[in-house]
A and B are shown apart, each in its own frame.
Chain A
Amino acid sequence: MSGLQSILNYCNGLQIDRRKVVGIQYTRNEIPRVSQTPTRNPWKFTLDMPNRYRYNEARSLMEQLDNLDRITPQVITFSNLPQLSWIFRYQGAMTVTQRNAITVTSFVGNQLVLGNLPVVPNTRVLFEPNDLIQIGNNYYPFTSTTQILRGTSGTVTVTTNRPNIITASVVGNGITVGNSCSFTMFCPNMPTYKLIPGGYQKTNGVLVGNALIEFSDAFELYEFVGTA
């Protein structure tokens, strides 16, 4: 078992928070006035864990979580288990080969321009809203905010959910889409755990005590955007 990936694999529920930093005022006549700060808009996942782990089976996991503590990021993915891979499943109509051939022409602000597009009918859907796109070997996944059709041009422009936070040049990089993308997350609130005695385990023919593990809180994962 590997730290945060294990928590994701076996969590009860996943809450996603991608909200931006904004200020909203309502005028006297109830017209909203909105101010937004263009942050890096990190992904935030809240994972609820059941009391399912037996202590003797989870000691390795506990050690990893304690070592990660609240500061160390770890890469997690939704592609490793069938019960997760549907969450960010690619919704477009390109084949794997066609997706792998695509390269980035430019990425300024939230306008991602892609080239080397497949030769398919103009109305073929390349990306649906919420499709994940990750660029080259960079950490940060983006989503397409709108449906992108192939069209007739040599390139398509994808409006992403957040601006380009990659400082290195991304021109010519390939892309990864859907649940093949990965997230680099850390857990600023890393919950503590409590051992609830119960049950036994047999070790070398001897019955010894065991316990279930209860976490003090949900795991609030925060995307690590401190580097670029």
Chain B
Amino acid sequence: MENIPAVANNKPLVNNAEFVKLTIYNEYGNTANNNVYTFSSSYQSETIDGVTYGPLGGLLAVGVQQRDIRVTSADTSISISGIDGNNMAVVLGTLIRGSKLEITRGFYDNNYVLTSNAHRFTGIVTNYNISEERQDQDDNFTITLNASSFKSVLENRIAGRKTNSESWKEYNPTDTSMDRVPSLADRAFSFGVEPRQGPTTQSQAATDASQVAQDTNTNTFVDRY
């Protein structure tokens, strides 16, 4: 179990700040091509695991992070200032949807020195929202990033291959196993029947289909079960 000395032994006072790391991937399939943005609620720049979190990023709020013993599908959000034009550019001008969001909590001693940290959340940005709050002469902008945990993302993942020629040849271009699927699609097929000459093209399939319909109408289509 993760040991957090800063909160162990019934500490009466916990001095802590939150650190948010946003990794935006600029290119599909190339995780090395990324931009990292950091935000924190601390009073100064802090370096955690080699990443420097500046205090001027404009972090306004960090949403609730569900903590369970079991792995659960939890969402959270962070709010950052939209007054900062850089933050607006990050949201509107980058591939922010699908970027990685990590939230860490850092613990300080009584002298305001960072002593330890604990990772709280890792997820993927699923949505963003920019809101303008104007009241009389006060005009503010807030950017909210919604993130889902990896488990939520995996639950929604579409896996496997489709039984058509294109999907099949994605992995092996010479695989012809599904080439006949278009001609068989939606075709009434009676299992156990003596095989007969089938259509190999869509036009032939259409011809066969009309023949079947004609047979049905003239009661010449025999029940073969």
Please give, as numbers and ranges, the residues of chain A lying within 8 Å of B45 by CB-CB distance: 167
**CA distance in complex: A156, B42 (Å):** 27
Instruction: Report whether B43 and A38 are in contact in the complex, using a CB–CB cutoff of 8 Å.
Output: yes
Q: Is B160 an interface residue (CB 8 A)?
A: no
Q: Which 10 interchain pairs have the tightest Cβ spacing?
A: A163-B112, A109-B112, A109-B111, A109-B113, A36-B15, A34-B13, A40-B43, A35-B14, A38-B43, A110-B112
Interface size class of B (residues with CB under 8 A): 10 to 19
Chain B residues near A (Cβ < 8 Å):
12-17, 41-45, 55-56, 108-109, 111-113
**CA distance in complex: A31, B13 (Å):** 12
What is the size, in residues, of chain A's interface with B at 8 Å between Cβ atoms?
A: 23
Instruction: Report whether B44 and A165 are in contact in the complex, using a CB–CB cutoff of 8 Å.
Output: yes
* A-B residue pairs in contact (CB < 8 Å), sample of 30: A31-B12, A34-B12, A34-B14, A35-B14, A36-B13, A36-B15, A37-B15, A37-B16, A37-B17, A38-B15, A38-B16, A38-B41, A38-B108, A38-B112, A40-B43, A40-B55, A41-B43, A108-B113, A109-B109, A109-B111, A110-B112, A111-B111, A162-B43, A163-B43, A163-B44, A163-B112, A165-B43, A167-B44, A167-B45, A228-B44
Please give, as numbers and ranges, the residues of chain A lying within 8 Å of B56 by CB-CB distance: 226
Instruction: Give chain A nearest CB distance to B171 CB in angstroms.
Output: 52
Please give, as numbers and ranges, the residues of chain B lying within 8 Å of A41 by CB-CB distance: 43
Instruction: Give chain B nearest CB distance to A6 CB in angstroms.
Output: 23
Q: Is A32 an interface residue (CB 8 A)?
A: yes
**CA distance in complex: A162, B17 (Å):** 15
**CA distance in complex: A228, B55 (Å):** 10
Given known A-B contacts A33-B12, A34-B12, A34-B13, A39 and B43 have beta carbons under 8 A apart: yes
Please give, as numbers and ranges, the residues of chain A lying within 8 Å of B15 by CB-CB distance: 35-38
List 10 additional contacts besides A35-B13, A109-B112, A167-B45; criterion CB under 8 Å. Answer: A36-B16, A38-B16, A41-B43, A109-B111, A162-B112, A163-B43, A164-B44, A165-B43, A167-B44, A228-B44
Per-position 1/0 for A98-114, Cβ under 8 A of B: 00000000001111000
Please give, as numbers and ranges, the residues of chain B lying within 8 Å of A164 by CB-CB distance: 44, 112
Please give, as numbers and ranges, the residues of chain B lying within 8 Å of A162 by CB-CB distance: 43, 112
A interface majority secondary structure: loop
Given known A-B contacts A109-B111, A109-B113, A226-B56, A35 and B44 have beta carbons under 8 A apart: no
Please give, as numbers and ranges, the residues of chain B lying within 8 Å of A36 by CB-CB distance: 13-16
**CA distance in complex: A40, B44 (Å):** 8
**CA distance in complex: A74, B56 (Å):** 21
Please give, as numbers and ranges, the residues of chain A lying within 8 Å of B43 by CB-CB distance: 38-41, 162-163, 165
**CA distance in complex: A34, B112 (Å):** 15
Q: Which residue of B lies closest to A192 (CB)?
A: B137
Instruction: Report whether A32 and B12 are in contact in the complex, using a CB–CB cutoff of 8 Å.
Output: yes
**CA distance in complex: A206, B78 (Å):** 63
**CA distance in complex: A143, B42 (Å):** 20
Instruction: Give chain B nearest CB distance to A171 CB in angstroms.
Output: 16
Contact of A39 among B12, B13, B14, B41 (CB under 8 A): B41
Please give, as numbers and ranges, the residues of chain A lying within 8 Å of B109 by CB-CB distance: 109
Q: Which residue of A lies closest to B14 (CB)?
A: A35
